[in-house]
Amino acid sequence: MAYLGAAYLWVKAAHVIFVIFLMAGLFMMPRFFVYHQETAPGSPEDRKWIERETRLLRIILNPSLVLVWLFGLMLMVEIGAWHFGWFHLKLLFVLGLSAYHGWIAGYAKKLARGERPLTDRQLRMLNEVPGIAAAVIVIAVIVKPF
């Protein structure tokens, strides 16, 4: 099909760049949550954490997720990825990371309302999710085990 032509490498580079931005945000936000939970709801420090989390979502996480998907779908079509087993594994984990992003956005809203449903330990454990997913995705794309 080769519809991207000479732009293929630029699209691939943009995809990787925005994956890096997305992953950075996905690693940062649960750490923010750990520190945020230590503050008293309604306190000046609580308001600062709400602002930080809102900015991280609005400026880095949300735009990065959209652009990762946009460039990723362009690459998928370009190489006919749907026919490869490794791609199905990657897609499964990308969908999982997208759901994790949604969970992060929802948890930030809970903290902003003064709710603290998870413990610091649980948040620290959830912080491992993007790293594990990234490892599986990189192996699937680079090694192409099937």
List binding-site positions for heme: 15, 90
Per the annotation, where are the binding residues?
15, 90
Q: Are 11 and 4 in contact (CB under 8 A)?
A: yes
The two tokens of residue 103 are 């969970």
